[in-house]
Structure formats: C-alpha cells, structure tokens
C-alpha cells in the first residue's frame, strides 16, 4: 500500500479557483465571505470549482501551509448520549498522548450539517477527521480525498468509497439478541428503532432484525417496527403503540439502550411483568442498564476499544504509515440479564 501523503500535496490556491471560474480573486472572496454579493448561478459555479480543487480558504490554508496544526477533528451525531461522551473521552486521551488536540462538532443526524461542520474543521486546518457512521454525502468524502486528508469512519464497517473504518457489523450485532430470543421460544416480536433516515447504524439494525426473523419464518410487519428519536419518552409511546397493534407481542428488540429503558419504564407503568410477560433487549450496554430493576439484557459494544483503535489508526495515517488495515473489527457480545431471563451469559460475536 502506498504511503498516505497528507501535507506534502500541492494545495489549490484562490488564483486557480478564479482562473477556472473566469472571475477575479476578489469575486471568489466575495462568494465565500459575503455570498449575497454575487449571483446564485455564479456562486454555485465557484463552489463547484472549490469542491473540485479541494480549495480551503483563509485560516485553514494558512495552517496547512505551516504543514502542522496539531489538531484532529471529530464529528458525532449528538453530544447528548453517554456512549458518545465516553468514546470522545477515550479518543482525546489517545490523540493527546500523540501530541494532538481534539476539535469536536455534532450534526444532529443531518448530512448537510455534517458537510458544513467538516468544512469548518478544514478551515481550522485539522490534520485528520474521524466521523461516526457512514451516512455522509459522497461529495464530502470526495472533498476529503481531493485534499488528501486522512479520515476514518467509526461505529460501522460499511463505508462509502471503501474508506477506513473502526467498528462492527450492526446487522450481525443486533442479530445476537434476536437469535437468543428465538431460541428461548419467542415468536411475536416488536421493534423500537432509532430513526433510520441518515443513520446507517439504525437502518442496519432494523434490517438485521427483519432478515433474521424472516430466515426463521417469523413475520415482523412494518407497523411493528416503530422508529423514534433516542429519547425515553418517545420509546414509552412506541411501546404503547406496539402493544395496541399486537397484544400478543412477547419480545421487544430495541436499537439502543435508551429506547429499551423507555420501553421498560412504560411496561412497569402498565403493570406488565418483565420478563414474565414481556422480554426487552437493548443495544450498547450503558452503565445504567446493569443497575435497573430488572437489569437490562443488551448487546455490548467495546466502545472504548473502538474509539481507541480509531484514534491510533488516524494518527498512523497522518504519520504516513503504510499497509494500514481497511477495517478494524471491535468486539461485540450479548449480555443476558433479568429483562429476558435470570441467567447470566455472554455470547461473543465472531470477528
């Protein structure tokens, strides 16, 4: 594998942009700094050329000319959830040991916001970018490649344009829980999923549940899969709807622990015995899940290890190391607690 050349690559200039757009450098500057000062058609043409050349203006260009900013950018969907906070803390520890600082931005699961935030990080002259998931717009990935900027996807193994990734197969991971529930006799399922729009992880988990149940000739109707934001209150409403749709449901698969906690609280409020009448399983293994009553069965992801490996890989890219692996698998296992059974058992997902 060839060495990753990050900062040695010739940088596009504003003069090149102006020449290709057949305008003055002052016009390019106005299009970037005061977009309303130029026509919409001209602005679109200039932005198209900027994307094609990978031109980064102002502060970012100055930082890149110095050949080192000492910073790495990280983009996450939200800063509200503990799973991201823990991951970011570990990522920061690793890059700090290597002499880098972390710049963080969030997207609220919106690819347009992510596009904008990445460009902001480029303006800061970051030397590499870590992005969660793989729902980015292709134009953004192509921009990073045009710039020759190291980047890595976290939390998934399926990436656009065969990019580097540190994560796991979300379909296979959630199927661990579904397979267990089938083995102990469940045939009537419902699912509370995260919103799948612009969220490849949530979509893969929904697909994983549907595909496995189909292989076992168990029907899961679309109306029995309810997508909600990752909020406890929304998960409670979702469980109420699922039980109205099919009162025979005996197992609820949740795409994230927060959703499973909401389902558990709603079941308790409605005096539904868990796990005697309803089994509930989550995903992530948040610290809180083991302290609930009943404690929550869930799919455990080695989140700390995942973020640590991603940090080391990205630093290796920045340093130009050769023969780096394209995909880094992290451990995923099923943790069975009291929300499905009183037994204690771990089932490891093979790599």
CATH number of the domain where residue 39 is located: 1.10.260.40
Mean pLDDT of the chain, nearest integer: 90
Co-location of 337 and 189 in the same domain: yes
pLDDT tens string 111-165: 999 999 999 999 888 999 999 999 999 999 999 999 999 999 999 999 999 999 9
Co-location of 51 and 200 in the same domain: no
Co-location of 30 and 175 in the same domain: no
Co-location of 47 and 174 in the same domain: no
Q: Would residue 139 count as lying in a domain?
A: no
Co-location of 174 and 48 in the same domain: no
Q: How many domains is the chain built from?
A: 2
pLDDT at 180 over 80: yes
Q: Would residue 272 count as lying in a domain?
A: yes
Where among 55, 75, 94 does a domain terminate?
A: 55
Co-location of 219 and 342 in the same domain: yes
pLDDT at 349 over 90: no
Where among 16, 36, 55 does a domain terminate?
A: 55
Q: Would residue 187 count as lying in a domain?
A: yes
Co-location of 51 and 174 in the same domain: no
Write the CATH number for 174. 3.40.50.2300
Co-location of 184 and 37 in the same domain: no
Q: Would residue 105 count as lying in a domain?
A: no
Q: Would residue 69 count as lying in a domain?
A: no
Residues 6+ away with beta carbon under 8 Å from 342: none
Q: Would residue 140 count as lying in a domain?
A: no
For the entire predicted model, the pTM comes to 0.80
Domain that holds residue 251: 170-303+333-348
- Per-residue pLDDT band for 296 (boundaries 50, 70, 90) equals very high
Where among 39, 55, 71 does a domain terminate?
A: 55
pLDDT tens string 20-69: 999 998 898 888 777 778 899 998 899 899 888 888 775 545 454 445 67
The more confident residue out of 278 and 50 is: 278
Q: Would residue 85 count as lying in a domain?
A: no
Q: Would residue 309 count as lying in a domain?
A: no
Q: What does the pLDDT average to over 206-213?
A: 98
């Amino acid at each position: 594998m060839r060495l990753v050349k990050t900062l040695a690559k010739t940088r596009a200039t504003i003069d090149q942009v102006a020449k290709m757009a057949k305008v003055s450098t002052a016009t390019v500057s106005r299009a970037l700094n005061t977009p309303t000062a130029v026509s919409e058609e001209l602005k679109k043409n200039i932005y198209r050329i900027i994307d094609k050349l990978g031109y980064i203006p102002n502060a970012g260009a100055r930082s890149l000319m110095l050949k080192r900013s000492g910073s790495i950018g990280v983009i996450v969907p939200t800063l509200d959830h503990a799973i991201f906070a823990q991951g970011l803390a570990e990522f920061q520890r690793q890059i700090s040991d290597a002499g880098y600082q972390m710049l963080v931005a969030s997207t609220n699961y919106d690819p347009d916001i992510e596009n904008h935030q990445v460009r902001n990080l480029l303006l800061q002259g970051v030397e590499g970018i870590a992005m969660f998931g793989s729902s980015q717009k292709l134009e953004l990935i192509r921009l990073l490649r045009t710039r020759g900027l190291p980047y890595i996807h976290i939390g998934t193994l399926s990436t656009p344009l065969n990019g580097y990734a540190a994560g796991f197969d979300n379909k296979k991971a959630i199927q661990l829980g579904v397979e267990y529930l089938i083995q102990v006799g469940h045939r009537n399922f419902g699912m509370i999923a995260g919103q799948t729009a612009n969220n490849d992880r949530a979509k893969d988990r929904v697909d994983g549940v549907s595909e496995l149940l189909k292989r076992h000739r168990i029907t899961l109707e679309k109306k029995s899969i309810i997508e909600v934001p990752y909020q406890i209150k929304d998960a409670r409403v979702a469980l109420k709807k699922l039980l109205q749709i099919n009162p025979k449901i005996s197992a609820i698969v949740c795409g994230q622990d927060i959703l499973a906690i909401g389902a558990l609280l709603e079941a308790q409020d409605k005096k539904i015995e868990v796990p005697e009448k309803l089994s509930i399983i989550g995903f992530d293994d948040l610290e809180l899940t083991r302290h609930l009553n009943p404690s929550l069965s869930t799919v455990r992801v080695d989140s700390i290890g995942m973020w640590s490996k991603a940090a080391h890989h990205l630093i290796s890219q920045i340093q130009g190391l050769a023969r780096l692996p394209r995909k880094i698998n992290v451990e995923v296992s099923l943790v069975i607690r009291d929300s499905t059974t009183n037994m204690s058992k771990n089932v490891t997902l093979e790599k």
